[in-house]
Structure 1
């Protein structure tokens, strides 16, 4: 089985008494978490209880006491371990505590939605001001240099094509769908993914003879639909697994003469294109490389060309506060990842290119619904996930990831944008 096996980032490991049932080799920081002193653990418990008392939650502790204003239930099964982990590593500890089974929730999304909606107030203001002192710093090994980006992408997208196929729809599209109405039935997901892709291609004015560059192939559905319109597509990916399957799908569709898929970093791309499309790939670029990413879009576009992006965004002030810290998502799900803000995209485009943002549309509620459908399917097919060799900790990790993401969109903390960027034609 190919699964994420993050190196231990704990400042100090507890004695080797792994949590029952946790593979200490595969999950070192779940089995033997970072130690926090008795004082830190006690302070963490007191701070969290005061925080819970202000939230519309019902937090149940193993001693029978409760906290909160009432609402979705959060069950803490091991208070000492829960507080020790969070005291030592903050939100990374919160996620690892769930992976270890130390807390749970009958409605996980509802609990996480409350937390996401109150994200800016979860940590007391004095501690927020001292964030640089206590927050873990992002490892330099996760920088998205050309070599680092390949390693980061492989950690997620090369897990297993079969795993992704278990919870995605038949298009194998791993980005927000666009529904006609919400809530949506699972049977409508394929049509909603095609609606999203077609809208992106329409924005990019892709048609017969269009020279299209796609940055981030996924499993090839956008390239297939563009080629079916008569476009000539060059698609770039860093995932061996995705490229292999996408090439098979292109061949089976009889479109190999119109689609080329290269194992190539966006910075290494050449050529000139009428249009560039990049769907939820900027999240893997990293803030220090955003200028280079947008300069690449500009360089690859012919005069008069169009670049279309789909991007997940977060509030600007939260992005600034967390851009240099190490998060649970970065450690276990998307190493090197960082969500931009709408303001950061606008500033980068303005300050580093001559591109113009001609249009921006947000539809975060549709991503929440997409994630719900993926999460429910992932849960229903847990036995098949296990049959692929992914253990209980992995399945809890991915359940938390999907629920955490859905909650972010339901709370409005996260959004997803479709951008149209244009390159003026100097000849006009």
Structure 2
């Protein structure tokens, strides 16, 4: 695998000097324990180990938070408890840099490419979900569900994933004879559980690898006659459905296309039908402040993605007959889900699947970074029920 931005350390003496001062301020404010090659600066907070401080400060100074992630990928720094360190940072993200220094963001903040066209969406999904079905199987549970679980006391991850799916199907009132559209197939577990209720399911995806395995899993479960899995963008869907269900897909749509997404739901929903969505969200003010910023996650993990606020989604559906009829938040369940995924990923032999050490560090950082977002409350996850206005 080629990693040109990891192998090359950018250089700017001025920006590195500014980054060093900002880091010292943040470390003092959070009381971080900072380990340097020449010793440890004590603190009561999580420890950060700067193995190559020079490279770290140059990457931070030139590329900001993207540089932080790339520096971790390169091995410039480490942390004995990476999620704890990132949670401390996420909890204070909006106040870490003092207002008088916020202008520094213009050095490194790049605008997010907002292209949610069908061609771009296919390429974005291919970048992440078509990496390898074996890779995802290495850290997901046997339901192959790649979204937040919903835990009850005593649940395994598998139990909690099925609980999440069943609650969505209950919200959409899926039962015998229901015509169900699933937007974003994943690897087929929701379609299987809907079919087990006696529903007929049309599931659409733009991931070739996911579709292939989902078809196999549906057939193995005995529901090939009641579940169709099609390679199709949501805008290409046709028909009329009693229930539409979509799990953590709206985040990949792109802000400019949210109205198109909800107009599509409105067009496809039969009279009296219901829509159940699961979505990762962030507070509206944070979304407005960050929506034009190109991030490490967008560069390396989810190109084209943007987390919406509930307010933004409501505005996007305001031109349709759909209205938000109920919602449930469970962000700490996502933090727990991500912790379990990360532990499984760290124990997996991903190198045997063709992925190198930099990829391993990239995904370790991604899973810990995401866990920190939910642990700190910086982001959340919700199940949303949409109905037509009376």
Bin of the TM-score, shorter chain as denominator length? over 0.9
SS of residue matched to 1:162 = helix
1:140-151 aligned within 5 A = 143-151=115-123
SS of residue matched to 2:39 = coil
Given the alignment of the two structures, is residue 175 of structure 1 paired with residue 152 of structure 2, yes or no?
no
Q: Which moved more, 1:313-322 or 1:164-173?
A: 313-322
| Per-residue deviation, residues 177-217 of structure 1 (Å, max 9, x unmatched) | 11113xx67xx111111111000000000000100000000
Given the alignment of the two structures, is residue 85 of structure 1 paired with residue 59 of structure 2, yes or no?
yes
Contiguous gaps of at least 5 residues in structure 2: none
Task: Quote the Cα distance in structure 1 between the aligned partners of 2:68 and 2:104.
Answer: 20
Task: Quote the Cα distance in structure 2 between the aligned partners of 1:57 and 1:132.
Answer: 27
For the Cα contact (< 8 Å) 1:291–1:348, is it kept in 2? yes
Task: Quote the Cα distance in structure 2 between the aligned partners of 1:84 and 1:127.
Answer: 18
Given the alignment of the two structures, is residue 368 of structure 1 paired with residue 335 of structure 2, yes or no?
yes
Partner of 2:68: 94
Structure 1 residue corresponding to 2:5, chosen from 29, 34, 39: 29
Task: Quote the Cα distance in structure 2 between the aligned partners of 1:275 and 1:129.
Answer: 47
Given the alignment of the two structures, is residue 225 of structure 1 paired with residue 197 of structure 2, yes or no?
no
For the Cα contact (< 8 Å) 2:314–2:323, is it kept in 1? no
For the Cα contact (< 8 Å) 1:305–1:424, is it kept in 2? no
Structure 1 residue 65: Cα displacement: 4.9
Structure 1 residue 72: Cα displacement: 1.1
Task: Quote the Cα distance in structure 2 between the aligned partners of 1:92 and 1:168.
Answer: 27
Q: Which moved more, 1:56-65 or 1:153-162?
A: 56-65
Given the alignment of the two structures, is residue 209 of structure 1 paired with residue 177 of structure 2, yes or no?
yes
Contiguous gaps of at least 5 residues in structure 1: 1-22
Partner of 1:422: 387
Structure 2 residue corresponding to 1:55, chosen from 27, 30, 54: 30
SS of residue matched to 2:306 = coil
Partner of 2:361: 396
| Per-residue deviation, residues 121-175 of structure 1 (Å, max 9, x unmatched) | 12332343564564122246xx221000000000000000000000000000001
Structure 1 residue 330: Cα displacement: 0.4
Structure 1 residue 77: Cα displacement: 0.9
For the Cα contact (< 8 Å) 1:301–1:423, is it kept in 2? no
Task: Quote the Cα distance in structure 1 between the aligned partners of 2:81 and 2:178.
Answer: 47
Partner of 1:111: 85
Task: Quote the Cα distance in structure 2 between the aligned partners of 1:55 and 1:312.
Answer: 27
1:230-309 aligned within 5 A = 230-309=198-277
Task: Quote the Cα distance in structure 1 between the aligned partners of 2:96 and 2:116.
Answer: 30
Paired residues in the alignment total 390
For the Cα contact (< 8 Å) 1:357–1:422, is it kept in 2? yes
Given the alignment of the two structures, is residue 342 of structure 1 paired with residue 342 of structure 2, yes or no?
no
Partner of 1:164: 136
TM-score in terms of structure 1 length: 0.88
Given the alignment of the two structures, is residue 314 of structure 1 paired with residue 288 of structure 2, yes or no?
no
1:346-357 aligned within 5 A = 346-350=314-318, 352-357=319-324
| Per-residue deviation, residues 207-266 of structure 1 (Å, max 9, x unmatched) | 001000000000000000001111110011010000000001111122111111111110
Runs of 4+ in 1 over 4 A off after TM superposition: none
Q: Which moved more, 1:40-49 or 1:386-395?
A: 40-49
For the Cα contact (< 8 Å) 1:215–1:235, is it kept in 2? yes
For the Cα contact (< 8 Å) 1:116–1:408, is it kept in 2? yes
1:376-395 aligned within 5 A = 376-381=343-348, 384-395=349-360
Partner of 2:20: 45
Structure 1 residue 33: Cα displacement: 3.2
SS of residue matched to 1:390 = coil
SS of residue matched to 1:416 = strand
TM-score in terms of structure 2 length: 0.97
Structure 1 residue 62: Cα displacement: 2.3
